[in-house]
């Protein structure tokens, strides 16, 4: 016997207005506006702590703090487009503001009314975030409308839908949105339940709730609505009291469809989609920023949002890409790889802020695009006897600081180039899983001869006196005097076929009470290239 179908709809009321409010709140630098919701924030924080601690996923052990931006629902707000009010919040509605009226009339009715302009790009990005969030709970989802997502719950074993629904709501809330979740045996019922939920409602077929809903809740055509009103039909319950065949004869297919939907028999087919794993936010700032602090403040909020989204798909942040939009029209772009992918907002923000501290722009910043790239957790077979870096991210930040202090390519693992030329070395950065490529290299198989050399970089010029072709006396800024003993010469050369060719004659000399040095003769000049120590 097939299991009964079950659908859920998450419905974000006045979604476009909430997006516009989000945008303004995020670019504000004053967090005190959030104070009335501090209690709710603490509550959410507790919920998150519990949910993370109960999560058996080994990806993370840190609690991501919820984003601190919450919309003030106690202030009348309205969305304005083409000189008309197109969306209002309940406070504005209670103050007498209606959809479709002019802004001047709206302000006359509610003087404290805050007007917002639509943020189309942010609406698109947040819709993407909603879909990614819902995909966490069901692989069969539909982007039903702005701020609305339908989930097909087939295959879910848990009979108590409220637990995960409230988890979904709290995650969506942590991204800054207030929403409702409705559960029903079909998508239509679930959608109707979501509109009337507070914030969760589960309905069954032919429920009293559905019967009491007005006809307008199914959004029939104005023509059909007028006919039904003339018949005295005002609720869905009244409509389904009429025989279905008679409705079909008189009102046609549209009437039949409306009757089926009112009776909860809608067989709507969902347009399933798989949201792409793109975690990106573009913010156009209302003011030009010339200092780092306010930019970091806004960036942190965006980063927190993106990390929450990445976390919702059980992934880790492996790279941050930041594009600064300058007032001059130029764009400054930089990718910041994370050596050890993580969800730790502190580490990620440290990487971002450390980079920005070194940036100087030619013009003020007017916006930015922040994108994070998700990856799976790194898989490592830990070695019993091999000590790994304790904190790779911190180590690579230290390497970046060292590079800033001593210069690029002056800190790393030494590597000999494929040449016999003396002092032909380059430095490479260690990989994340920094370890020896070979336990014992071929070179280290051979025993070392004599003491090691300390090089003078660059070599110290010297004047050398010769007798029978051997150096017997040396004058330089480092050493002066008679050479007691000498060994050599050892001649090396290479690359004779190109201008970078080299030919060197080397001598080892012992100067009275001054140590043992390596003397080189190249291109007609003597120099002290090192000291044996």
Partner 1 sequence: MSSGKIVELRQVLAERFPREIPPPASLLTTGIECLDRSLEGGMRRGTITQLVAPYPSCGSASLLHDLIDSMHTSASQFVALIDGKNSFEPLGNTDLLLWIRCENANQAVRATDLIIRDGNIILSILDLKQNEVQELRKVPLTAWYRLQRVAADSGTTLLLITSHYISGSCFAAVQINNPLRINDLAELSYTVSQTRLLDFIYRKNYAELGYAQA
Q: Measured from the CB atom, is 293 or 383 closer to partner 1? A: 383
User: What span, in angstroms and rounded, lies between the C-alpha atoms of 526 and 460?
Assistant: 9
Q: Measured from the CB atom, is 230 or 387 closer to partner 1? A: 387
Q: Measured from the CB atom, is 260 or 506 closer to partner 1? A: 506
Q: Which of 10, 357, 417 is nearest to 195 (CA)?
A: 10
CA distances 333 to 326, 355, 359, Å, are 11, 11, 11
Shortest distance, position 483 Cβ to partner 1, whole Å = 10
Crossing angle for the helix pair 15-27 and 292-312, nearest 10 degrees?
140
- CB burial readout 179-201, b (16+ within 10 A) else e: bbbbbbbbbbbbbbbbebbebbb
Q: Measured from the CB atom, is 379 or 390 closer to partner 1? A: 390
User: What span, in angstroms and rounded, lies between the C-alpha atoms of 532 and 514?
Assistant: 11
R_g (Cα) of the chain, nearest Å: 36
Residue ranges in 28-160 assigned as alpha helix (H): 38-54, 90-94, 103-109, 120-135
Shortest distance, position 434 Cβ to partner 1, whole Å = 7
Q: Which of 314, 284, 290 is nearest to 302 (CA)?
A: 284
CA distances 494 to 422, 442, 443, 507, Å, are 11, 23, 21, 18
Q: Measured from the CB atom, is 42 or 398 closer to partner 1? A: 398
**Strand order, beta sheet including 114-116:** 84-88, 77-81, 114-116
Q: Which of 433, 315, 291 is nearest to 365 (CA)?
A: 291
Q: Measured from the CB atom, is 157 or 448 closer to partner 1? A: 448
Q: Which of 302, 404, 287 is nearest to 352 (CA)?
A: 302
Shortest distance, position 495 Cβ to partner 1, whole Å = 21
- With H, G, I as helix, E, B as strand and everything else as coil, classify residue 254: helix
Shortest distance, position 502 Cβ to partner 1, whole Å = 17
Which DSSP string do the residues of 326-367 spell out, in sequence order?
ETTS-EEEEEEEEEEEE--HHHHHHHHHHHHTT---SS-EEE
Shortest distance, position 303 Cβ to partner 1, whole Å = 23
Binding site for partner 1 (CB under 8 A): 383, 385-387, 389-392, 394-395, 398, 401-402, 405-406, 410-416, 423, 425, 427, 430, 434-441, 443-444, 447-457, 484-487, 508-510, 514-516, 530-533
Cβ atoms of 134 and 151 within 8 Å: the answer is: yes
Shortest distance, position 516 Cβ to partner 1, whole Å = 5
Q: Measured from the CB atom, is 424 or 495 closer to partner 1? A: 424
Q: Measured from the CB atom, is 430 or 489 closer to partner 1? A: 430
Count Cα atoms within 13 angstroms, Cβ side, for 468: 2
What residues form DSSP beta bridges with 493?
503
Shortest distance, position 517 Cβ to partner 1, whole Å = 8
Cβ atoms of 330 and 366 within 8 Å: the answer is: no
Shortest distance, position 489 Cβ to partner 1, whole Å = 14
Shortest distance, position 128 Cβ to partner 1, whole Å = 37
Phi and psi torsions of 483, nearest 5° = -90, 115
Shortest distance, position 455 Cβ to partner 1, whole Å = 5
Shortest distance, position 477 Cβ to partner 1, whole Å = 12
Q: Measured from the CB atom, is 159 or 390 closer to partner 1? A: 390
Q: Measured from the CB atom, is 229 or 485 closer to partner 1? A: 485
Query: Considering Cα of 416, then 422, then 427, then 430, what sign does the dihedral take?
Result: positive
Q: Measured from the CB atom, is 98 or 491 closer to partner 1? A: 491
What residues form DSSP beta bridges with 490?
506
User: What span, in angstroms and rounded, lies between the C-alpha atoms of 25 and 19?
Assistant: 10
Q: Which of 23, 67, 27 is nearest to 297 (CA)?
A: 27
Q: Measured from the CB atom, is 385 or 497 closer to partner 1? A: 385
Shortest distance, position 482 Cβ to partner 1, whole Å = 14
**Can the peptide bond before residue 395 be classed as cis, meaning omega within 30 degrees of 0?**
no
Shortest distance, position 377 Cβ to partner 1, whole Å = 20
Q: Measured from the CB atom, is 159 or 448 closer to partner 1? A: 448
């Amino acid at each position: 016997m097939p299991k009964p179908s079950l659908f859920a709809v998450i419905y974000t009321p006045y979604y476009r207005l909430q997006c516009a409010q989000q945008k303004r709140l995020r670019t504000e630098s004053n967090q005190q506006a959030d104070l009335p919701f501090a209690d709710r924030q603490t509550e959410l924080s507790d919920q998150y702590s519990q949910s993370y601690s109960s999560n058996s996923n080994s990806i993370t052990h840190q609690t991501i703090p919820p984003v601190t931006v919450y919309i003030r629902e106690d202030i009348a707000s309205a969305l304005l487009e083409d000189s008309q009010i197109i969306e209002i919040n309940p406070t504005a509605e209670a103050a007498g503001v209606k959809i479709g009226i002019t802004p001047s009339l709206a302000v006359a009715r509610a003087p404290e009314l805050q007007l917002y302009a639509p943020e189309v790009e942010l609406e698109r990005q947040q819709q993407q975030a909603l879909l990614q969030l819902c995909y966490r709970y069901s692989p069969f989802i539909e982007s039903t409308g702005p701020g609305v997502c339908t989930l097909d719950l087939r295959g879910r074993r848990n009979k108590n839908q409220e637990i995960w629904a409230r988890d979904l709501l709290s995650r969506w809330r942590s991204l800054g949105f207030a929403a409702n979740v409705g559960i029903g045996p079909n998508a239509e019922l679930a959608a109707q339940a979501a509109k009337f939920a507070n914030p969760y409602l589960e309905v069954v077929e032919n429920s009293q709730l559905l019967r009491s809903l007005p006809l307008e809740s199914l959004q029939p055509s104005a023509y059909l609505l007028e006919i039904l009103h003339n018949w005295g039909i005002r609720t869905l319950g009244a409509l389904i009291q009429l025989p279905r065949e008679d409705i079909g004869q008189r009102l046609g297919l549209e009437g039949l469809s409306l009757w089926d939907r009112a009776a909860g028999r809608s067989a709507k087919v969902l347009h399933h989609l798989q949201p792409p794993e793109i975690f990106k936010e573009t913010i156009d700032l209302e003011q030009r920023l010339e200092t780092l602090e306010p930019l970091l403040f806004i960036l942190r909020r965006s980063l927190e949002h993106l990390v929450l989204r990445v976390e919702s798909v059980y992934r880790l942040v492996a790279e941050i890409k930041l594009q600064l939009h300058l007032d001059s029209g130029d764009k400054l772009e930089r990718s910041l790889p994370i050596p050890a992918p993580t969800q730790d907002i502190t580490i990620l923000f440290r990487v971002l802020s450390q980079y920005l501290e070194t940036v100087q722009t030619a013009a003020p910043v007017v916006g930015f695009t922040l994108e994070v790239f998700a990856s799976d957790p790194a898989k490592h077979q830990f070695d019993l006897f091999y000590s790994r870096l304790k904190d790779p991210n911190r180590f690579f930040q230290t390497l970046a600081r060292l590079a800033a202090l001593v210069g690029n390519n002056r800190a790393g693992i030494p590597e000999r180039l494929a040449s016999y030329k003396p002092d032909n070395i380059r430095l490479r950065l260690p990989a994340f899983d920094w370890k020896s490529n070979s336990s014992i290299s071929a070179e280290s198989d051979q025993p070392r001869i004599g003491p090691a050399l300390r090089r003078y970089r660059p070599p110290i010029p010297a004047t050398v006196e010769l007798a029978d072709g051997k150096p017997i006396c040396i004058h330089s800024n480092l050493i002066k005097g008679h050479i007691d003993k000498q060994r050599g010469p050892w001649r090396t050369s290479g690359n004779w076929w190109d201008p970078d060719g080299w030919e060197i004659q080397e001598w080892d000399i012992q100067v009275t009470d001054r140590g043992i040095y390596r003397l080189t003769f190249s291109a007609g000049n003597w120099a002290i290239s090192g000291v044996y120590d």
